[in-house]
Amino acid sequence: MYKNNLRLIIITLLVLVASAAVHELMGQANSTPVINQKAEHALQSRINKTTYNLSISLPQHYSPNDTVHYPVLYILDGGLAFPIAHAARTSMDMFGDLDKMIIVGIDYEWKQSLTPWMTNRWKDYTPTKDAAFDASPTYTKAFGLTEGSLSSGGAPIFLNVIKTEIIPFIDKSYKTTTERGISGHSFGGLFVNYCLFMAPDLFGRYGINSPSLWWNSKEMFKIEKTFSAKNQSLPVQIFMSVGSMEGKSMTPVMTAFADTLKSRNYKGLTLTTHIFEDETHMSVVPAMISRTLKVLYGPKK
């Protein structure tokens, strides 16, 4: 009787150990990184009647079946910037170089022609109307545009589109937190700068890269001055960058704006700046996207 009981106990223990081993192996299998998860959406704005192409990059292990939610980084000029951002985050995810987040590229319907891209971003990313630049042959000829096709000053409307249409759509479609970031380059950087002062509570992290701060007689300096007169705090994280070969209207102007922000001593502001040596306005794009991700979402030291 004793031997039979002992044998039963031993068999039971072996079964439990085997079950635990199988469970552990299954757990390891389930923890295998799920990478390169992407999605595409087309959103028709009811506000400005523009169709926005939204490209989604999901972090490792993203699953609709668990309870984990993620911060979101919105990237402008998604047609150009999103593939770079997705590749960079996929690479950095492998060794834990980034916090887990969702990347959303915002772009327009354009494939074989730059015309829809340029005309829409010109409208959406510029804070105010500048008729002289709208008619400038420098831009119309460079992009093969017809006279009168450029119309600036739509940033307030586009900001409303992001706030009331794009963000709610992403929040409904994916498991997001209320922690958001936004990043842009050139006119996109100008728009991100505009968001910083017009809707500082909408985003907490800002990638302001090669910003066109020369726009409309450097009006962004005036906007910042007005903001500083009413606000002593600006609890956000900012990465500002520019290429060293971008010219007098870009590199020193970005540096001057960053110096202005530092001089305000805004409470809660974390500002990081970088000048990419030997980079032009366009060659800097891959470098600034990677650095934006690293600075804004890299492991905190």
Query: What average pLDDT does range 9-14 have in this prediction?
Result: 44
CA distance 34 to 152: 42
Q: How far, in Å, CA of 87 to CA of 92, rounded?
A: 9
Which is it for the CA torsion 139, 141, 144, 146, positive or negative?
Answer: positive
What crossing angle do the helices spanning 187-198 and 215-230 adopt, rounded to 10°? 20
Q: Which two tokens stand for residue 85?
A: 């951002």
Q: Tell me the whole-structure pTM to 2 decimals.
A: 0.88
- Position 36 pLDDT exceeds 90: no
What share of the chain in percent tops pLDDT 70?
87
With 70 as the cut, is the pLDDT of residue 103 above it?
yes
Instruction: Say which DSSP state 233 is in.
Output: B
Q: Which residue has the higher pLDDT, 153 or 22?
A: 153
Q: pLDDT at position 14, please?
A: 43
CATH number, span 34-297: 3.40.50.1820
Between residues 10 and 164, the one the model is more confident about: 164
Q: Helices in 63-112 by DSSP H: which ranges?
A: 78-93
**282 DSSP assignment:** T
Contact at 8 Å (CB) between 275 and 251? yes
Task: State both tokens at 194.
Answer: 């505009």
HSE-CB at 5 with a 13 A cutoff on CA atoms is 2
- Kindly tell me if the per-residue pLDDT of 24 is higher than 80: no
CB 74 within 8 A of CB 104: yes
Question: What pLDDT score does 144 carry?
Answer: 83
